[in-house]
Amino acid sequence: MLYLLLRWFLDALALLIVAWLVPGFRVVNLPSALVAVIVIGLLNVTLGFFLKLITLPLGILTLGLFFLVINALILKMASAVVPGFQVNSFGAAFIGAAVLAILHMLFEALSN
């Protein structure tokens, strides 16, 4: 349970870092980031899994880079639902998805 709470806060921190680094990506405050992380997680588990399963051959062909497009779409969808979380363009969502992936890898490396 403690691991899940820590992971939730680290993901929210990563989202705040992305908002600071990427123009067109905006998170108002920590509670908005926490809610956005939950919504992004739910969208990834449901719709993201389905889209990644359907586009698996394209993902293999592009060595997994196409999955960043799906993650960017998930970020755009979450920004439409969560107040205080805004992604202005698909380009900002794509760059944000790439930075989030790098931050997640960094947090995983530091936690082990």
Rounded distance, CA 90 to CA 69, Å? Answer: 9
Task: Report the candidate in 26, 33, 39, 28 with the shortest Cα–Cα distance to residue 9.
Answer: 33
Q: What is the pLDDT of residue 3?
A: 87
Rounded distance, CA 105 to CA 107, Å? Answer: 6
pTM for this entry: 0.92
Enumerate the H helices of 1-112 as residue ranges: 2-21, 30-43, 49-54, 56-61, 66-81, 90-111
Q: What angle do CA 79, 84, 85 make, to 5 degrees?
A: 30
pLDDT in tens, 45-97: 999 999 999 999 999 999 989 999 999 999 999 999 999 999 999 999 999 99
2 backbone dihedrals φ, ψ, rounded to 5°: -65, -35
Q: What is the pLDDT of residue 111?
A: 79
Rounded distance, CA 48 to CA 104, Å? Answer: 17
DSSP state of 28: -
The per-residue pLDDT of the chain, averaged, comes to: 94
